[in-house]
Chain A
Amino acid sequence: MLRYILRRLAWSVPTLLIVTFLVYLALRIGTDPVASYKRINPRATRAKVAEYIEVNGLDPNFVKGYFKWLKNFVTGEWPRSIKGRREVWPALKDAMANTLRLGTAATVVGIFFGLIAGVLAALRPGGKRDVFINTSAFVGISVPPFISAIMFQLLFAVYWQKWFGESLFPTSGVYPAGHTGFDLFLMLKFMALPTLVVAIQIIATYSRYMRSSLLDVLNSDYMRTARSKGISERRVLVKHGMRNALIPVVTIAALDVGSIVGGLIITENIFSYPGMGLYFLKSFGEGDFPLLMPWMVVIVASVLFFNLIADISYAWLDPRIRLD
C-alpha cells in the first residue's frame, strides 16, 4: 500500500505539469490574456505591456512561456491582477476559505441525510417510504441547482419579505455589507440558503447511491449466510450489510469532495457568495490571467489529490481490490 501511494505521488508530479500546461494553453488560446490586459488598461504603455507579458510567461512560444510561468509560480513570484494590481493570494485565500466553509457544511449535511434516506428506502423496497424517498431524490437531481436556488430566493427572501416584512434568510454575501470580524450566527444565517440548495442535490444523489448499493448487498448470498448463523438482525444489517454497502459510496464521496472546490459556481453566483466560484467567474469574464492560473492550479491539485484518496480508500475498505 505504501509503495502504491508513493508511486501515485510520484506520478502526480508529471500529471500536474501536463494538466497545468494544458490549462495554460487553453487559457491563452481562449481568453487572450494580452488583449484582456490591454482592454482593462487602455492607457498602459508599451513597457508595461511587455512587463506583463514577461512576468506572466506569455511568450509567443507556448512551451517557453509555460516554463517561465511555472518558474514564477513555484518561487512564489505571483504576478498581480490586471485590474488595479491586486495581490492574488489574499483574494484566493479568502475565496478558498469561503467555499470550503460552504462546501463542507453542505457536504456533511447532504451526505448524512442522504445516507439515512437511502438506508430507510432500501430496508423496505417498494414500500411507500421507499417510493417517496426515491421520487423525491429523483426530483432533487432533475431540478438544476440554479432553479432551486432561484425558487428559494423567491420564497424565502422576496416573498417572505413581502408577507412578513423582513426576509427570513439573506440572499447574498457572507456578511452584511460593512461588517467586520467574526460572527458565527450571522455567518450561519447567510450561509443557510446556499447550503440548503447544495445540500438538496447531495442528499438526492447519495440517497440513490446508498439505496442502490444497500439493495445490492441485501440481496447477496452472504446476507443469507449471515442470517443462517442466527445472529441478531441488527448485527446482520450493520456488520454485514452496511459495511459492504458503504464501500462504493465512500469512494464516490471522495471523488465528489474533490470537485467541491470549484463546483459551487452556480450557487455562489446566485447568492453572490464570494467563494471560489465567484472568483472564477469574475476573473474568467475579464480574462484576468494572473488571477486565473493560481485558481486553476488549486483546482487541479485538489482533483488529483482526491482521486488518490478515493483509490486508496477503496482499496483499504475492500480487500478484494489489489492496487498495482
Chain B
Amino acid sequence: MTEKVLEIRDLHITFDTPSGPLEAVRGVDLDVSSGELLGVVGESGSGKSVTFLATMGLLPSRARVTGSVILAGEQLIGGSAKQMRSVRGRLLSMIFQDPLSALNPVHRIGDQISEMLRSHQNLSARDAEKRAIELLDIVGIPQPGDRARQYPHEFSGGMRQRVVIAIAIANNPKVLIADEPTTALDVTVQAQILEVIERVQERFGTAVVLITHDLGVIARVADRVNVMYAGRNVEQGTIESLFDHPSHPYTRGLLASLPRPGKQRLKPITGFPPNMLNPPSGCAFHTRCEFAADICKEDLPTLVSFGDLETACVRARELPKSESFA
C-alpha cells in the first residue's frame, strides 16, 4: 500500500455570515496517497474547494476550522502562520480556476516563478531564472527563454494555466491541489492542461487532487474519486469501480445526467442544491433522492465499506444495482 501523503480527518469548517453561522464542511474524512490523482467531485456549494483552501490555510480568519489535516506527518490545523507559510508552496501547492486573474499583471512571468523558487530554496537570482525557464519548458511553453520575460497578458488562456502549473510545481511539492483548473478554458485546451498535469505527475511523482464538477474530466485522468455533497463525503472509490457500479444515489444521479449519444431525454437530478445555512436533516440528499426513506432523515450517514467502494448511503444494500457508466 502506498503511503498516505495527506490525511484529512473529521474536518469541520464554519463561516460566520450576516445570516448566521454557515457550516460549509460538516465532517470530511479524506486520504490522498503518494503519486495518485484523486478526483474530488461535487456541485457548487458542496464544500469541495473550501476543504482544500482550509488545508492550505487560505481561508479568512472569519472561518472556523476544526479537525485534523496531516501532511507528510505534520499537523496543519491550528498551526502557526509561519508554519503554514513554510508548507505552502513547498510541500503543498494550489492552482485555481481563472489563470488570467491568478497571475500578477505587472510582474514578468519568469519573475513570478522565480519568486516561488526563491522563497523556499536558497537560490541566486540567476539560478532561479534558469530553473524558471526549465520549468516553463517542462509544462510545454515554447521558447521558454523569451517567454519568461513576457507579461501575463501576452499569453493565451491555456498558456497561462501552464505557467500557473509551473509556479505550483516549482518546489516539487508532495501534493498539488487543482481547483477547477480547466473550467475556464476551451475544451481542446482542457485536454492539453490535463495532459500537462499527468506529465508532471509522472515526472515528479506528485500527488494531485483535482477538484471539479465535470465528470468528463475525472473520467479522463483520475485514479480514485471522492464525491462530495452538502459538505460531506458521500462516496469514494477507484474510478473504474465508481463508474461501473456507483452505489450512492447522488453519484448515480450525476452519472446518469451526463448526456449520452443517441436519442434519449436528459435525466437531471431533481430539486435544488441545499441551503447550507439550514441543511436538510440526516442525509442531506434525501430531499432529492428517488430512494429516500424515513431512515434517511434521521442521522448523518458516515462512509462505510460497500464492496470495493465506500458509501454514505444507509440504504446502499437495499438499492437495485445501478447500470454501468464505464
Contact = CB atoms under 8 A, between A and B. Distances in A.
B120 A230 contact: yes
B106 interface: yes
Interface string A284-310: 000000000000000000000000000
Contacts of A224: 58, 96, 102
A222 B88 contact: no
Contacts of A90: none
A225 B106 contact: no
B46 interface: no
Contact of B90 (A225, A226, A230, A317): A230
Given A227-B58, A228-B93, A230-B85, A222 B167 contact: no
Interface in B92-112: 93-94, 96, 98, 101-107
A231 B89 contact: yes
A319 B56 CA distance: 31
Interface in B115-174: 115-116, 119-120, 151, 153, 164, 167
B106 A229 contact: no
B105 A232 contact: no
Contact of A222 (B85, B90, B93, B104): B104
Nearest to A322: B153
A282 interface: no
Residue from B87, B96, B104, B119 with most neighbouring chain A CB atoms (10 Å): B104
Contacts of A240: 104, 107
A298 to B, nearest CB: 35
A227 B167 CA distance: 13
A247 B90 CA distance: 31
A221 interface: yes
Contact of A231 (B58, B93, B107, B119): B119
Contact of B151 (A221, A225, A226, A320): A320
Contacts of B102: 221-222, 224-225
B105 A228 contact: no
B86 interface: yes
Interface size class of A (residues with CB under 8 A): 20 to 34
Interface string A205-246: 000000000000000111011111111110100001001100
A320 B150 CA distance: 11
Contacts of A225: 96, 102-104, 164, 167
Nearest to B86: A230
A318 interface: yes
A240 B102 CA distance: 12
Residue from B87, B90, B94 with most neighbouring chain A CB atoms (10 Å): B94
B98 to A, nearest CB: 6
Contacts of B103: 222, 225
Interface in B12-71: 56, 58
A8 B58 CA distance: 46
Contact of B116 (A221, A229, A247): A229
B101 A229 contact: no
B59 to A, nearest CB: 11
Contacts of A227: 58, 88
A125 to B, nearest CB: 12
A222 B105 contact: yes
B101 A222 contact: yes
Contact of B96 (A221, A233, A243, A244): A221
A221 B164 CA distance: 12
Contacts of B56: 228
Contact of B87 (A230, A243, A247): A230
Residue from B81, B90, B102, B103 with most neighbouring chain A CB atoms (10 Å): B102
Interface string A135-171: 0000000000000000000000000000000000000
B200 to A, nearest CB: 17
A319 B151 contact: yes
Residue from A222, A230, A240, A319 with most neighbouring chain B CB atoms (10 Å): A230
A220 B101 contact: yes
Given A230-B85, A235-B119, A320-B105, 7 more contacts: A221-B98, A222-B102, A224-B58, A226-B104, A230-B88, A243-B106, A319-B151
29 contacts: A221-B96, A221-B101, A222-B101, A222-B103, A224-B58, A224-B96, A225-B103, A225-B164, A227-B88, A228-B58, A228-B88, A228-B94, A229-B89, A229-B115, A229-B116, A229-B167, A230-B85, A230-B86, A230-B90, A230-B119, A231-B89, A240-B104, A243-B106, A247-B106, A318-B105, A319-B151, A319-B153, A320-B105, A320-B106
